[in-house]
Amino acid sequence: MATDPKTLKNYYGKAPSSVYARLADPKDTESTKAIVDALYASLSGPAGVKRDWDRFRSLHTDSSKSIRTGKLPEGTVACSWMTNDEYIEQMNPWFESNGFYELEVHRVEERFGNIVHVFSTYESKHGLNEKPYMRGINSIQLLYDGKRWWVMNVMWQHESDEFPLPAKYLP
C-alpha cells in the first residue's frame, strides 16, 4: 500500500522491518502536516476506546523514540526514552481508562533538505468539548525518504509555572 520499508535504510543498510510501515495510509505520510495530524489522531479518543496503535506504529520507524521530560520531586530534570512498544505498553491502560485528546494549536517548522523539526504546541483535554487541562510542546523530528514522511523521535515538555509557553509558540 505505502512505501516499501526497504526504502529507508540506516547507514548500516538496515531498513524498518515493521509490517506497520507497509500499512501506512499514504494520506497520513504525504506531508509534515499530515503526519503530525495523524500522530495526534492516533493517540486521541474517549475513555474505553482502544487507540489506533497500528496507525501509530505506521508513522514511526522501528527505532523511533518517545521521550518524556520533566522534573523529579527533588528538582532535577530527567527524561524517559521509550520505544514505540514501550510507549504503547505504558500509555494504553491510561488511554483506555481516560478520555484524552491532544490537539495541535500552533506549530513552528524548520526544514533543511529531507529533515524537519516541528515545535508543535498542544493542548490536552479529557473530552473534545472540555477546557484544556494541560499544554506543552512536542518536539518532533521528521524524515522524508523520497516517498513518505517518517516520525523519527518525539520529545515533549508540559507547560509549567517555571516554563510558560513563549508567545512565539502560541496561536
SS percent in the chain: helix, strand, coil, step 5: 25, 35, 35
- Band of residue 16 on the pLDDT scale cut at 50, 70, 90: low
Q: Is the pLDDT of residue 17 over 80?
A: no
The two beta strands, 134-144 and 149-158, are antiparallel
pLDDT in tens, 87-128: 999 999 999 899 999 999 999 999 999 999 999 999 999 999
Give me the long-range contacts of 19-28 (CB less than 8 A, separation at least 24): 20/54, 20/57, 20/58, 21/58, 21/61, 23/54, 23/58, 24/58, 24/59, 24/148, 25/1, 25/55, 25/58, 26/1, 26/2, 26/148, 28/55, 28/58, 28/59
- Band of residue 2 on the pLDDT scale cut at 50, 70, 90: very low
pLDDT in tens, 124-156: 999 999 999 999 999 999 999 988 999 999 999
What cell was used for 154?
A: 518525539
How does the average pLDDT of the chain come out, rounded? 90
Q: If you search the block for the grid coordinates 473530552, which residue do you land on?
A: 127
* Percent of the chain topping pLDDT 90: 80
Measured at the CA of 68, the angle between CA 66 and CA 74, to 5 degrees, comes to 155
| pLDDT, position 143 | 95
For residue 100, give its domain range. 5-169
Count of domains forming the chain: 1
- Domain containing 112 — which CATH number? 3.10.450.50
Alpha helices in the chain (DSSP H): 20-23, 32-43, 53-59, 84-97
Length of the chain: 171
The pTM assigned to this predicted structure is: 0.88
- Band of residue 62 on the pLDDT scale cut at 50, 70, 90: confident
Q: Is the pLDDT of residue 26 over 60?
A: yes
